[in-house]
Structure 1
Amino acid sequence: MDNLENRKHYISWPVLALMAFVTVIGFDDLIYNFKNQGMGVITSWILMLFLYVIPYSLMVGQLGSVFNKEGGGLSSWIRGTNGEFLGYFTAWTYWAASIPYVVDTANSVVVGLGWAINGSGKFQDDMSNSQFALWTLLIFVVFIMVQSRFKRSLELLSSIGGIAMFGMTVLFVVMAISSLGMGGHIATQPMNLGAIIPKFDLKYLTTVGLLIYAVNGCELIAPFVTKMKKPRREFPKSMLMLVVMTAFLTIFGSFSLGIFFDAHHLPHDLKMNGSYYAFQALGQQYHVGNLFMYLFAWTEVIYLAALLAVLLDAMTRMLISDTGQKYMPRFLRKKNRAGLPINGYLLTCFLSGFILFLGIFLPEMNDVFNWLLNLNGIISPGVTCWIFYAFMRVRKNPERYPSEYVFIKNNKLAWTVGFWALMVTAVATIFGIAPQDVAEFSSVWWHELIINVVAIVVLIGLGALLPLITKREEKYGLAFSRLQWILMLLVVVITVVLGVYLGSAKLADRNLLVIGDAVIGIALVCLLGWRRPK
């Protein structure tokens, strides 16, 4: 009887593969990268699968097995290999990377609602950037309130919605290819071997980060590795199944997009509206009007809305609880009567508003959407670097980190593979800072480059400041007085405003603005060093 009870808790390798599949790839990921690389993205997907996704997922499996008692989270991997502070900083960067993601998700909810209600992109076409930001912030406030009451229902809804989204994606691929047998034609011409070979230039390098962003997330299934009956033998099977499913979706999905879109002349708003255009075209091909588009739009809205609510809660709780008392200021750990870290939610809303503000002065709403998406292609791969760094540390000292599942028995070879993945991800992160979807070295290009840097510095830099604030709390009982908080907030606001204006300023004005920003930055440092609050 005991053996039968234990078997009930094992996860089979096909189930684990499906769990990983839901976290790794989606229809929107196909659209985004098709816009960046056209049909050449097919070759990129093949290279990514064999040179990146396979080793990445297998490394995650070993890390999850090594640190199974700590839940298998990314911060626990770094904490276990590099100490408490770096573990905290990893938790912070993982959380900071979630900020652009949830903002992008909220934007997608707004876009999806427009299509689901109007059946077209008219809703967002008639909207100004400030209205777009206002709607997004409104969605944040609503879902922060909703998640505290319906959290469990929303978690279930996001899981069901995620599976439904993949079902819609598979449906699109199958029906798009089947349409060719019904007299359909391929829009991308010529469709030959040369069409699927990308041009490996500087522009290509700036788009690799978004490819990595599309396929990462496998670390979320790491805690389940030790719940398999025979991880050493079954986990590689799960990852092989994951790669096969991902290969089918990415390769045939990109080919299917080439059936309906001319890869040489793509709509400028493909990243924002491409998913709806695709299902609209599918419906026209099968003479059912907008049926498929409406099905996809409502599936997208329901899934993203539930996901947003869960993310807003989970990421804040993870940060506050995982970092503990040593590095997280007391005012951020404060909870209300319902046990919710209310100031943590306020920080999430504040930084989300900050990200929205950075993009509000871009020319069009489509530019805002694309910039936010591309910002994810910078920050998310940057955080993924921690995974490979932790793996390298484990394989450098294998006797200290025993594991039931081991990826590559030879430690030197395994370390080299980890180093390869780290370098690829780091290079993609650095090149991803260069703006996409706009003319190179235009005023908008410079604007996006500067706000990319400002966003990264603020999101990551704040994580380095919080331990200093915590030390002041321990020393003085109160980190800063009300006057000090007001002055620092004022300095930060002025710095951000100047940074945003810097992006749109004429070249002659930029040197002066850079000097002004530097002076204000020094003032902020001086304020942080201000002695005992009165």
Structure 2
Amino acid sequence: MEHMEYIEPQKKHYMAWPVIALIDFVTIISFENIFYPFQNQGLSVVISWIFLFFSYVLPYALISAQMSLTFDNQAGGLASWVRRSSNDTLGYWTSWMYWVQSVPYIVDVSNSVIVSFSWMILGNNSLDKRMSTFWFGILTFIIILVFILLENLLKNSLEVLSLIGGGAMFIMSFLFVLLAGYAVMHGHHIATQPFNWSAFKPSFSLNYFSTTGLLIFAISGAELAAPYVSEMKNPKRDFPKSMWLLALMTGFLTIFGTLALAMFFNAHHIPHDFKMNGPYYAFQLLGESLGMGKVLMYIFAVVQAVFMMAQLAVLLDASSRVFAGDVADKFMPKWLTKKNKNGRPIHSYTITAGLSLFLLLLTGTLPNINTIYNWLLNVNGIISPYKTCWVFFAFVAMRMHQEKYHSSYVFIKNKTGALTMGFWCLIFTFICATLGFIPQNIAFGTKGFNHQLIMNIITVLVLFGLGFVMPWLRKREKIRENN
């Protein structure tokens, strides 16, 4: 008898819970996410962040933990949560809104890629003076098309890119907070004066509430970790830990990052192009105060470019998968779900490119690059929170009939308490998204204000309205098939 060698079965590679928290963190928040809330609300945004951390960020992360562990064998993520806790039609709407809210963000991220290269090449903020809005739009569109093509040529390199870019961005953000503290302890003058309690007091104006949607946009996305549940050795014990760590890292960066900004920028007189160029100003000022010149700014520009390109790749990849999702047949026309030889739904890229072009044509009516940058951000502050509403809707729907579902982790055991928290998050998110329609950084009632208000309404109507067209096209298609 031949001697048979015993081959050990291959061990499954599990992901550690801190790794999952980090992957989710880098897709949710980046260094620049603390700049626009600071411009909109000044130092009082620190109070907003602290309030949101306890009343929103923590519940959001732990609600996502329970939902992920309740529907742990679902590939569709958030759309599956909604479909399983309510019905197919709402599941379709969730996946449509999830996809369509990524389009303004894809354009926004492409803009950021151009800005980061302009700082690398020019070393200053003169892009707005050197480039017309027309060429800015054309370049943005070229970047989106290049990434769509790359997406179909390269495999797995995107994951590597996002881990390198995300990890580097994470380090740069924490480095900024620590070095800002170091600079102040070694004699750096605090730019925000007076730096006292009254500087932190929120003024509950219309502007304050209309800009809170951007805070939600900056911190939403905890549900993106759902697919990783199956990659963990002991998800029941470890997945909630990932969500706790995610919430704590988000809280640290938003609260302490904002305080660090107040060291270098006067919260009462913030530069008008702060949303676009603020992160570069910040590293330039930090480098100068530490006697390093522009070195930190150039390092940040490179990290930002890699990070933004990684985000663009991940966004395009994730958004195309929605069309291949399990809600497709009844609601999506066949031609939309058609795949190429790499298994990618090729026409979803066509629609992404088309809608990006539509947004860029709209931005062409704005006076300069800085206004374009700010407007696109504001659109994200409307559309993204509307999508986030579905997370809380699914949680409320599931907890109303909790006896039907089994979860190894339960956020708030008491049913009434859980529903109260779910409804609070849902209503708060919806109100902030709706208030986001009010244009920001522009005087009420002026020509520019009315122009941006109309643009906001048109954008939301077109992006969400297309969701009604798809099932109608599918219905027509079925009639043709049967004849």
Which whole-Å CA distance do the structure 2 matches of 1:307 and 1:22 have between them? 9
Give, in angstroms, the shift of residue 256 of structure 1: 0.8
- Residue 29 of structure 1 pairs with residue 33 of structure 2: yes
Residue in structure 2 matched with residue 460 of structure 1 by the alignment: 464
Residue in structure 2 matched with residue 206 of structure 1 by the alignment: 210
**Count of aligned positions:** 476
Q: Residue 116 of structure 1 is aligned with which of 120, 125, 137?
A: 120
Give the structure with the higher percent helix: 1
- Residue 154 of structure 1 pairs with residue 158 of structure 2: yes
Which whole-Å CA distance do the structure 1 matches of 2:428 and 2:10 have between them? 41
Q: What amino acid is the match of 2:406? A: P
Which whole-Å CA distance do the structure 1 matches of 2:59 and 2:181 have between them? 31
Which whole-Å CA distance do the structure 1 matches of 2:83 and 2:269 have between them? 48
Contact 1:79 1:87 survives alignment (8 Å): yes
Could you list the runs of 5+ residues in structure 2 that have no partner in the other structure? 1-7
Which whole-Å CA distance do the structure 2 matches of 1:20 and 1:194 have between them? 35
Q: Residue 316 of structure 2 is aligned with which of 309, 312, 315?
A: 312
Q: Residue 351 of structure 1 is aligned with which of 330, 334, 355?
A: 355
Contact 1:213 1:381 survives alignment (8 Å): yes
- Could you say what secondary structure the match of 2:211 adopts? helix
Residue in structure 2 matched with residue 66 of structure 1 by the alignment: 70
- Residue 180 of structure 1 pairs with residue 184 of structure 2: yes
Contact 1:14 1:241 survives alignment (8 Å): yes
Which whole-Å CA distance do the structure 2 matches of 1:186 and 1:84 have between them? 55
Q: What amino acid is the match of 1:385? A: C
Which whole-Å CA distance do the structure 2 matches of 1:256 and 1:333 have between them? 47
Which whole-Å CA distance do the structure 2 matches of 1:130 and 1:450 have between them? 21
Give, in angstroms, the shift of residue 5 of structure 1: 8.2
Residue in structure 1 matched with residue 331 of structure 2 by the alignment: 327
Q: Residue 428 of structure 1 is aligned with which of 421, 425, 432?
A: 432
Give, in angstroms, the shift of residue 338 of structure 1: 4.0
Residue in structure 1 matched with residue 268 of structure 2 by the alignment: 264
Identity %: 48
> 178-187 vs 230-239, which deviates more?
230-239
Q: What amino acid is the match of 2:383? A: I
Contact 1:65 1:226 survives alignment (8 Å): no
Q: Residue 284 of structure 1 is aligned with which of 279, 282, 288?
A: 288
Residue in structure 2 matched with residue 103 of structure 1 by the alignment: 107
Residue in structure 1 matched with residue 50 of structure 2 by the alignment: 46
Give, in angstroms, the shift of residue 223 of structure 1: 2.9
Give, in angstroms, the shift of residue 86 of structure 1: 1.4
Q: What amino acid is the match of 1:216? A: S
Root-mean-square deviation (Å): 1.9
- Residue 248 of structure 1 pairs with residue 275 of structure 2: no
Residue in structure 2 matched with residue 145 of structure 1 by the alignment: 149
Residue in structure 2 matched with residue 451 of structure 1 by the alignment: 455
- Could you say what secondary structure the match of 1:265 adopts? coil
Write the deviation string for residues 19-63 of structure 1: whole angstroms up to 9, x where unpaired: 333233221001111111111111111001000011111111111
Contact 1:63 1:72 survives alignment (8 Å): no
Residue in structure 2 matched with residue 524 of structure 1 by the alignment: none
Which whole-Å CA distance do the structure 2 matches of 1:195 and 1:271 have between them? 21
Contact 1:89 1:464 survives alignment (8 Å): no
Which whole-Å CA distance do the structure 2 matches of 1:155 and 1:438 have between them? 39
Give, in angstroms, the shift of residue 12 of structure 1: 3.9
Q: What amino acid is the match of 2:22? A: L
Which whole-Å CA distance do the structure 2 matches of 1:65 and 1:72 have between them? 14
Give, in angstroms, the shift of residue 127 of structure 1: 1.2
Which whole-Å CA distance do the structure 2 matches of 1:248 and 1:465 have between them? 43
Write the deviation string for residues 146-189 of structure 1: whole angstroms up to 9, x where unpaired: 12112311221112101110100111111111001222100000
Q: What amino acid is the match of 2:28? A: V
Give, in angstroms, the shift of residue 315 of structure 1: 0.8
Q: Residue 219 of structure 2 is aligned with which of 206, 210, 215?
A: 215
TM-score normalised according to structure 2 size: 0.94
Q: What amino acid is the match of 2:219? A: V
Write the deviation string for residues 465-503 of structure 1: whole angstroms up to 9, x where unpaired: 11011100111249xxxxxxxxxxxxxxxxxxxxxxxxx
- Residue 377 of structure 1 pairs with residue 381 of structure 2: yes
Contact 2:23 2:163 survives alignment (8 Å): no
Give, in angstroms, the shift of residue 261 of structure 1: 0.6
Q: What amino acid is the match of 1:51? A: S
Contact 1:64 1:72 survives alignment (8 Å): no
Q: What amino acid is the match of 1:369? A: Y
Could you list the runs of 5+ residues in structure 1 that have no partner in the other structure? 479-531
> 335-344 vs 282-291, which deviates more?
335-344
Q: Residue 395 of structure 1 is aligned with which of 399, 405, 410?
A: 399
Write the deviation string for residues 114-147 of structure 1: whole angstroms up to 9, x where unpaired: 0111111223331111111101001111111112
Residue in structure 2 matched with residue 56 of structure 1 by the alignment: 60
Write the deviation string for residues 247-284 of structure 1: whole angstroms up to 9, x where unpaired: 22112111111111111011100000001010111111
Contact 1:79 1:86 survives alignment (8 Å): yes
Which whole-Å CA distance do the structure 2 matches of 1:322 and 1:72 have between them? 7
Residue in structure 1 matched with residue 171 of structure 2 by the alignment: 167
Residue in structure 1 matched with residue 5 of structure 2 by the alignment: none
- Could you say what secondary structure the match of 1:321 adopts? coil
User: Mapping of 1:384-533 within 5 angstroms?
Assistant: 384-477=388-481
Which whole-Å CA distance do the structure 1 matches of 2:270 and 2:316 have between them? 34
**Shift in CA distance, 305/228, structure 1 to aligned 2, threshold 3 Å:** closer
Q: What amino acid is the match of 2:166? A: G
Write the deviation string for residues 212-262 of structure 1: whole angstroms up to 9, x where unpaired: 011111101123345545545444433333333222211211111111111
Which whole-Å CA distance do the structure 2 matches of 1:194 and 1:238 have between them? 36
- Could you say what secondary structure the match of 1:68 adopts? coil
- Could you say what secondary structure the match of 2:320 adopts? helix
TM-score normalised according to structure 1 size: 0.86
- Could you say what secondary structure the match of 2:260 adopts? helix
Give, in angstroms, the shift of residue 69 of structure 1: 1.1
Give, in angstroms, the shift of residue 7 of structure 1: 8.8
Which whole-Å CA distance do the structure 2 matches of 1:214 and 1:321 have between them? 26
- Could you say what secondary structure the match of 1:151 adopts? coil
- Could you say what secondary structure the match of 1:70 adopts? coil
**Shift in CA distance, 274/328, structure 1 to aligned 2, threshold 3 Å:** same
Which whole-Å CA distance do the structure 1 matches of 2:337 and 2:248 have between them? 43
Q: What amino acid is the match of 2:142? A: L
Write the deviation string for residues 71-123 of structure 1: whole angstroms up to 9, x where unpaired: 36000011111221211111011000000010100010111110111111223
> 344-353 vs 237-246, which deviates more?
237-246
Q: What amino acid is the match of 2:128? A: Q
